Amino acid sequence: MPGIDALADRLSTYLGKDQINLVRRAYYYAEQAHDGQRRRSGEPYVTHPLAVANILADMHMDHQSLMAAMLHDVIEDTGIAKEALSSQFGETVAELVDGVSKLTQMNFETKAEAQAENFQKMAMAMARDIRVILVKLADRLHNMRTLEVLSGEKRRRIAKETLEIYAPIANRLGMHNVRVEFEDLGFQAMYPMRSERIHQAVKRARGNRKEIVAKIEQSLKHCLGVDGIDGDVSGRQKHLYGIYNKMRGKRRAFTEIMDVYAFRIVVDKVDTCYRVLGAVHNLYKPLPGRFKDYIAIPKANGYQSLHTTLFGMHGVPIEIQIRTREMEEMANNGIAAHWLYKSNENEQPKSSHARARQWVKGVLELQQRAGNSLEFIESVKIDLFPDEVYVFTPKGRIMELPKGSTAVDFAYAVHTDVGNSCIACRINRRLAPLSEPLQSGSTVEIVSAPGARPNPAWLNFVVTGKARTHIRHALKLQRRSESISLGERLLNKVLGGFDSSLEKIPAERIQVALGEYKVEVIEDLLEDIGLGNRMAYVVARRLLACENDQLPSPEGPLAIRGTEGLVLSYAKCCTPIPGDPIVGHLSAGKGMVVHLENCRNISEIRHNPEKCIQLSWAKDVTGEFNVELRVELEHQRGLIALLASSVNAADGNIEKISMDERDGRISVVQLVVSVHDRVHLARVIKKLRALAGVIRITRMRA
């Protein structure tokens, strides 16, 4: 173990003489205070604070942090008061030591309330000076590195706490290197067998992969060389705990994870990053949807980089990260990189530092807003435990929801009535889709309208059981009222053929019919008709007490308005739109399904008045109707974008798109487009026809 002189030597590369002397003084003070104390390993206790200071020296932390590191266990372990430190080393250093001591006193295993208190202390200490947390992380890092001397139980407790509390904090502060070390050491202590098995497997796999890694590296370097770009190419290795988590969380096989080849390219400046991106995309085909630009939009912890995945030779996936040296430094050391840079050059604080401070500030604000500590811990968990999202009501109340929850889940969590009548939402005061997953920290406001009803499509994206149950229940009620009104229209249509209507039928006659059908009220009967369980034709005959089997078929078709709701649907086989000739097929329990008149699926029952009814489109029909188009066109770059903008130019919406490459030259694209009617569809098709290279457009129907 190198002593204080060795440390002083290292410090001289970036600290002044006076500052180094202060660090020395702190060391001697600690040595004396801990005199006679030993670590579990048998070494004098002071070797521990010295090691902690060394870790901070690696990060080029300032002299006050290093002094605090030297003294960090003095208050806790030797009974020396904070005031004594303050008069010896000044207020700032004493505050830092005090903050670290408070963090040390935390016991994260106690009950929720006590835990909340601990979080508070942590947050306060951090907010006063972020260096407290850095000293604490270094302290924990050294303890983790020397964990093996402890008993099994204590070792596991510390490891668990490290994995659950300190690794996430390191991550939050962007300190990748520290986090990885925490995770691997914690993993090893918690699950020695699993850790060892993965370690061995990784070693074996790396042996097998050597050749291919070298090949890819070679071709990447060559590729940069051709473009005259100066950059460092290096292979990246996943850490053990990361592999373990991926195997567990995403249920992937070990080989699947190891089959990915990961590289990093570090260059001089931002501009070069994008040039490198272009170069590697030229070398191998990029995997669509995998490109991420964290340079333009950094992660919350300040991380910046370009990410892309390529299909290498023989289709091996290659993950590439491209970043500048400075970003690399930030990615590895996060907030600590701030000091590293500050000591080298006279630069402005880096964004990571600013972001960390912002986080701390947010935590403090939360604390003031939340009344008690329990509520507070809920809100701090946002950042430490990402399985829940925490959002605010407009009045500042915190709502906890499962991850992936949407505004609809939120609305039902607030109140069932709010959920049932919700029509739109504002997230952070901006209108947002109801289906958008909520992010922690957002303020969510529900826009509701009296008489609004739940939408069946919500069931596709809600996450909470409460929302699901209430939507189903409301839909059931809604379906009943819509079935009744459709049933009434169908029945009146048939009665109209006889110059009659429901109103004209005497009440006694209706009562008799209800008795025969064994239902209580007329609504039940109408609902049955609307749902397709009873034929309007048959019921009409009964009501009219018509002996004759031959009831004239009703004059003129029933008009479809597009507002019938849940009891009316449009056939998926032929996707009719306003303007098309249509018929309605009544199927038991489902209500009416609208088909094209010449749809093959109903050709057999087309003229059966008990199953099919003639329909027309009402003049004021409203809504969006989906049609499927098949477009054959010559293959060209950016073809999807071209199609999309043409459809858009005709006010159409693309609902779905899929593409087959028929041969090298021709592509076949299937589009599902939503339009208002046939005229609108014609406009869309005309726009598509105008595109260069379009050979044929067909509307698909059964």
3-11, 67-75, 226-234, 545-553 -> range binding Mn ion (CB under 5 A)? 67-75
Nearest-10 crossing angle of helices 63-71, 91-104: 50
Closest distance to Mn ion from the beta carbon of 2 (Å): 18
Number of chain residues interacting with Mn ion (CB under 5 A): 2
- Cα torsion angle, 354, 359, 364, 369, sign: positive
Q: Which is nearer to Mn ion, 73 or 527 (CB)?
A: 73
Return the number of other C-beta atoms located less than 10 Å from residue 136's C-beta. Answer: 27
**Residue 415 Cβ, how far from Mn ion at the closest point, in Å?**
50
Going from the C-alpha of 299 to that of each of 237, 296, 305, 405, 429, the distances in angstroms are 21, 10, 9, 21, 22
Catalytic site positions: 76-77
- Our finding on whether 139 is near Mn ion (CB under 5 A) is yes
Q: Name the one range near Mn ion by CB under 5 A: 8-16, 136-144, 234-242, 588-596.
A: 136-144
Residue span binding Mn ion (CB under 5 A) among the ranges 66-74, 191-199, 415-423, 461-469: 66-74
Residue 127 vs 144, nearer CB to Mn ion = 144
Least distance from C-beta 146 to Mn ion, angstroms? Answer: 10
Nearer to Mn ion, 139 or 445 (CB): 139
Among 47, 73, 89, 333, binds Mn ion (CB under 5 A): 73
Question: Which segment (137-145, 173-181, 346-354, 511-519) binds Mn ion by CB under 5 A?
Answer: 137-145
Rounding to the nearest 10 degrees, give the CA dihedral for residues 507, 511, 517, 522: 50
Q: Scanning residues 635 to 694, which ones bind Mn ion (CB under 5 A)?
A: none
With CB under 5 A as the contact rule, which of the stretches 134-142, 176-184, 300-308, 540-548 interacts with Mn ion?
A: 134-142
Which is closer to Mn ion, CB of 101 or CB of 171? 101
The least distance separating Mn ion from the CB of residue 100, rounded to whole angstroms, comes to 8
CB of 48 to Mn ion, least distance (A): 6
- How would you write 162-178 as a 3-class SS string? HHHHHHHHHHHCCCHHH
- Cβ-proximal residue to Mn ion, closest one: 139
73 or 378: CB nearest Mn ion: 73
CB of 104 to Mn ion, least distance (A): 7
CA angle 147–150–155, rounded 5-degree value:
65
User: Closest Cα partner for 226 from 279, 281, 278?
Assistant: 279
378 binds Mn ion (CB under 5 A): no
* Nearer residue to Mn ion within complex by CB, 40 or 665: 40
Contact between 564 and Mn ion (CB under 5 A)?
no
Report DSSP letters for 549-613, one per residue. S-PPPPSSPEEE-S--GGGEEE-TTT---BTB-EEEEEETTTEEEEEETT-GGGTTTTT-TTTEE
Rounded to a whole number of angstroms, the minimum distance from the CB of residue 72 to Mn ion is 6
Residues from 407 through 466 that contact Mn ion (CB under 5 A): none
Hey, is 328 helix, strand or coil? helix
Helical residues (DSSP H) of 173-311, grouped into ranges: 176-190, 192-226, 240-249, 254-258, 270-283
Greatest CA span in the chain, whole angstroms? Answer: 115
> How long is the chain?
702
| 8-state DSSP, 44 | B
**Coil, strand or helix: which one is 31?**
helix
Q: Are 265 and 307 in contact (CB under 8 A)?
A: no
Residue nearer to Mn ion on the CB measure, 50 or 621: 50
Residues 184-203 that bind Mn ion (CB under 5 A): none
- Which residues contribute to the site for Mn ion (CB under 5 A)? 73, 139
